[in-house]
């Protein structure tokens, strides 16, 4: 397939890199020429900063920009790429944000966290595809199958709920690591001591219901420890962490299903 990208951020970079192994990446558009050129060089494509220079003889255009820019992008490029299948890569953006301006639209959503420094294990990354037309859905499914053995045809609504869950499972758990690091950093204790605990906690949850795996003072109802921990955060003038500690402990104790 001949594939072009709008965007040169983390999702575009990781996706272009892996797709370039089996497909031809034709153009990389970014408003920032340095970013466009950096990624274009990596995947042997042409860098462009003018979206009217996007060529139409491609099979797929992947829009990998921030969620709030998708609508603006499709309005700008959809009209002169009428016969090109155009997809976005967003978990929380409905397909109709594209279809209202461009009929031949779809979604190609990788449920993964993309950081600059870290390689993605594409083989087991769940990919969610959706398209306005059945034959496009087939094309996207085939493309997804070439990257991962976990490909799903999901509606925008299902994808939305997955993305919300991903914020809890990924963004918020990472923030918990961040807060843990702040706690030990302030006492000159090495954060890496917590690595085995972090990995064990994550591994366990792939084998058991997290509710059943919950440990710690909150689920034990150990009020002495809960109070002591809150006092420690108070003494360190970390009212922000104290509030979060209190709210999450309460959630653990009263958690509904």
Q: Which of residues 54-113 bind a copy of itself (CB under 8 A)?
A: 66-68, 92, 111-113
Contacts of 142 (CB under 8 A, 6+ apart): none
Cα–Cα distance, 197 to 173 (Å, whole number): 13
Q: Please, which residue, 79 or 251, has the CB nearer to a copy of itself?
A: 251
State the minimum distance, in angstroms, from the CB of residue 121 to a copy of itself: 7
β-strand pairing of 105-110 with 24-29: unpaired
Contacts of 89 (CB under 8 A, 6+ apart): 11, 15, 62, 63, 64, 107, 108, 109, 110
Does position 251 interact with a copy of itself (CB under 8 A)? The reply is: yes
Cα–Cα distance, 114 to 167 (Å, whole number): 13
DSSP conformation class of 3: E
State the minimum distance, in angstroms, from the CB of residue 113 to a copy of itself: 5
Q: Please, which residue, 24 or 113, has the CB nearer to a copy of itself?
A: 113
Does position 141 interact with a copy of itself (CB under 8 A)? The reply is: no
Which range of residues in 13-21, 49-57, 133-141, 170-178 is near a copy of itself by CB under 8 A?
A: 170-178
Of 219-248, which residues contact a copy of itself (CB under 8 A)? 219-220, 222, 224-225, 228-229, 232-233, 240-241, 243-245, 247-248
Instruction: Write phi, then psi, for 59 (nearest 5 degrees).
Output: -95, -20
State the minimum distance, in angstroms, from the CB of residue 6 to a copy of itself: 17
Of 8-47, which residues contact a copy of itself (CB under 8 A)? 10
- Which secondary structure element, helix H or strand E, spans residue 181, and what is its range? helix 173-185
Does position 192 interact with a copy of itself (CB under 8 A)? The reply is: yes
Contacts of 76 (CB under 8 A, 6+ apart): 51
β-strand pairing of 127-131 with 105-110: antiparallel
Residue 122 near residue 147 (C-beta atoms within 8 A): yes
- Which secondary structure element, helix H or strand E, spans residue 249, and what is its range? helix 239-254
State the minimum distance, in angstroms, from the CB of residue 250 to a copy of itself: 9
**Interface with a copy of itself (CB under 8 A), residue from 118, 135, 145, 234:** 118
Does position 125 interact with a copy of itself (CB under 8 A)? The reply is: yes
Which range of residues in 22-30, 33-41, 54-62, 203-211 is near a copy of itself by CB under 8 A?
A: 203-211
Q: Please, which residue, 2 or 204, has the CB nearer to a copy of itself?
A: 204
């Amino acid at each position: 397939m001949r594939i072009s990208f709008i965007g040169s951020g983390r999702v575009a970079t990781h996706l272009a890199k892996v797709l370039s192994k089996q497909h031809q990446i034709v153009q990389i558009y970014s408003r920032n020429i340095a970013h466009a050129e950096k990624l274009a060089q990596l995947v042997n494509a042409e860098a462009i900063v003018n979206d009217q220079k996007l060529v139409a003889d491609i099979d797929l255009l992947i829009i990998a920009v921030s969620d709030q820019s998708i609508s603006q992008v499709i309005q700008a490029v959809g009209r002169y790429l009428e016969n090109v299948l155009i997809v976005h890569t967003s978990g929380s953006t409905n397909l109709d944000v594209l279809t209202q301006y461009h009929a031949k639209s779809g979604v190609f959503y990788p449920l993964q966290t993309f950081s600059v420094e870290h390689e993605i294990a594409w083989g087991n990354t769940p990919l969610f595809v959706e398209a306005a037309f059945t034959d496009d859905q087939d094309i996207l499914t085939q493309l997804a199958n070439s990257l991962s053995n976990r490909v799903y045809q999901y509606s925008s609504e299902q994808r939305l709920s997955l993305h919300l869950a991903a914020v809890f499972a990924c963004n918020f758990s990472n923030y918990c690591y961040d807060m843990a690091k702040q706690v030990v950093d302030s006492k000159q204790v090495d954060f890496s001591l917590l690595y085995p605990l972090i990995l064990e906690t994550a591994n366990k949850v792939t084998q058991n219901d997290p509710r059943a795996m919950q440990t710690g003072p909150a689920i034990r109802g150990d009020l002495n420890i809960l109070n002591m921990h809150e006092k420690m955060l108070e003494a360190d003038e970390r009212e922000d962490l104290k509030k979060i500690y209190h709210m999450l402990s309460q959630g653990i104790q009263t958690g509904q299903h």
